[in-house]
């Protein structure tokens, strides 16, 4: 079925727009700078940071990764963030999750200056999102989902949206973006979570379903109405004896059975993932534009 929302293609369009903005900054003598901080050797974090660095290089964004040992103290990490906050050549700072258990992530993310918080996790940026203040930074994954919907011309005005998951990284900001009084939003949003009664009934009412629960193939065909738009944010590793690794990655949507019912649906991979990187680098260029 030809009802896939191609996240790679839409991300490529955004990267092209970002490239033009980077060029304009360079004509003014400014090269956008992005600092990555990774604590420990989490394999997934290594891959994610590597992908972000590669794309930054392609777009002419100067990026640098500092890798700290797992045993790094919170005070040492805060000291590094303070140095980057004071560095005029560093316009954006990303502290890669997850952090070691002995660190308080809320304290760490709050230490990044709001103007350099290109991940959109600082309480000031969270507050600006809630208030509809465009002067902050949106978290990259929900901002990417929003762009997927807008650029795919999915009708949002008055749409019934169900967001599955109330996490701080996707669920809550996703709902906040879509309820704003804006031509690009104005949705009616239901935020479902582990204590929601009869989640399936809520889902069947939705024009747009956004699955971000972190539960493998949670959304099944009988939970989706005909003609719905489904966005799969989940990334889950499950056992699969037929694969050489013994595992495979799946989303939060049972794709094969849900796709035939959808007007539009994101593949996984190739849907939301590329958009997260695109929005991060766009945020970095915005930070450079504002700071200079």
Catalytic residues: 52, 96, 119
Distance CA 35, CA 158 (A): 39
Using omega within 30 degrees of 0 as the cis cutoff, is the peptide bond preceding 174 cis?
A: no
User: Are residues 221 and 256 in contact, defined by beta-carbon separation less than 8 angstroms?
Assistant: no
Phi, psi of 33 (to 5 degrees): -120, 135
Element holding 13 (H helix, E strand): helix 7-27
Q: Give the dihedral sign, CA 204/207/213/215.
A: positive
Q: Would strands 92-95 and 33-39 be described as parallel, antiparallel, or unpaired?
A: parallel
CB-based contacts of 182: which residues, under 8 Å, 6+ apart?
132
Q: Would strands 247-250 and 228-232 be described as parallel, antiparallel, or unpaired?
A: unpaired
Using omega within 30 degrees of 0 as the cis cutoff, is the peptide bond preceding 93 cis?
A: no
Query: Tokens at residue 59, please?
Result: 């777009």
CB-based contacts of 191: which residues, under 8 Å, 6+ apart?
163, 166, 171, 172, 175
Instruction: Give the start-end residues of each E strand in the chain.
Output: 33-39, 62-68, 92-95, 160-164, 188-192, 208-211, 228-232, 236-239, 247-250, 262-265
């Amino acid at each position: 079925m030809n009802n896939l929302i191609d996240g790679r293609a839409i991300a490529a369009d955004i990267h092209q727009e970002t490239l033009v903005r980077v060029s304009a900054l360079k004509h003014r003598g400014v090269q956008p700078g992005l600092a990555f901080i990774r604590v420990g050797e989490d394999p997934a974090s290594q891959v994610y940071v590597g992908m972000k660095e590669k794309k930054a290089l392609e777009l002419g964004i100067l990026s640098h990764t500092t890798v700290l040992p797992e045993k790094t103290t919170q005070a040492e990490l805060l000291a590094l963030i303070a140095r980057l906050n004071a560095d005029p050549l560093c316009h954006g700072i990303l502290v890669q999750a997850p952090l070691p258990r002995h660190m308080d992530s809320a304290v760490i993310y709050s230490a990044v200056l709001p103007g350099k918080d290109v991940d959109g996790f600082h309480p000031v940026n969270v507050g600006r999102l809630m208030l509809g203040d465009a002067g902050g930074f949106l978290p990259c994954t929900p901002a990417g989902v929003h762009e997927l919907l807008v650029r795919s011309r999915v009708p949002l005005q008055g749409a019934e949206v169900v967001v599955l998951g109330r996490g701080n990284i996707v669920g809550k900001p996703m709902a906040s973006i879509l309820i704003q009084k804006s031509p690009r939003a104005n949705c009616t949003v239901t935020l479902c979570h582990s204590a929601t009664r009869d989640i399936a009934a809520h889902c069947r009412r939705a024009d747009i379903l956004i699955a971000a629960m972190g539960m493998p193939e949670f959304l099944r065909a009988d939970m989706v109405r005909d003609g719905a738009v489904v966005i799969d944010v989940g990334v889950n590793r499950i056992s699969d004896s037929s694969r050489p690794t013994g595992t495979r990655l799946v989303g939060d949507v049972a794709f094969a059975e849900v796709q035939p019912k959808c007007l539009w649906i994101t593949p996984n991979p190739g849907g939301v993932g590329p958009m997260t990187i695109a929005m991060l680098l766009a945020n970095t260029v915005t930070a450079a534009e504002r700071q200079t």
